[in-house]
Amino acid sequence: MSIATSILGASGYSGQETLDRVLAHPELELVALGSDSLAGQWASVLDPRLNGNVPAFVSNHDAIAVGAELVFCCFDHERAALLDAPADVVVVDLSGAHRLAQPSLYAEWYGFEHPRPDVLPEWSYAIPELFPPTGPLIANPGCYATAVLLALAPLANVIEPSGVVVDAKSGVSRSVRTSTLPRSSRRSGSPSASFPICCRCGAA
């Protein structure tokens, strides 16, 4: 049985990457693509190869209200922090809006005061291979954290944590929030497809 799946903020970079993985998963059925800026348009505006293969864009409000069993939230941090997660639905937030248990840390690490600190205990920071989620609301770790934790986990019992130095590099700038190039362009491999983008920021 397929799991009905919605993607919020599907027009952003992380939303497009999530779309790729949802379409490739044999047990997920895409039922809604949310994008306030592209609502009413076909997914082929992102990639001609999607013409007729996936639902048309709807507003993010409609995408979360469609009744999906699984929702991927691909908003930026501050917008995701305002998310009103539906009851009894698995929600995976790809932003940093629900990763930290202490509300006071959001200003330091993400640059904003969390507007809904009361909901933070409901979210679990989870890496399935190491820390399975404890509930339906899942705060997806960032790309660096995931790479570091998965790499160091096998060595946890033989290393001194205070002596570990991680030298991580990103191939793209984290200063630009959203992608304005269609999927077909950014996957072409041509020089014009190279542009700075943050892999954890979504779009409207």
176-to-40, 85, 160 alpha-carbon distances in Å: 26, 27, 36
73 is catalytic: no
Residue type, 89: V
Pick left, alpha or beta for residue 177 (phi over 0 → left; psi -120 to 50 → alpha; otherwise beta).
alpha
Cβ count near 154 (within 10 Å): 8
Closest CA relative to residue 17, chosen from 99, 92, 78: 92
Which two structure tokens, joined as six digits, stand for 136?
Answer: 């339906």
CA 116, 121, 125, 129 torsion-angle sign:
negative
Catalytic annotation, pick one of 143, 198, 199, 201: 143
Task: Report the catalytic residues.
Answer: 143
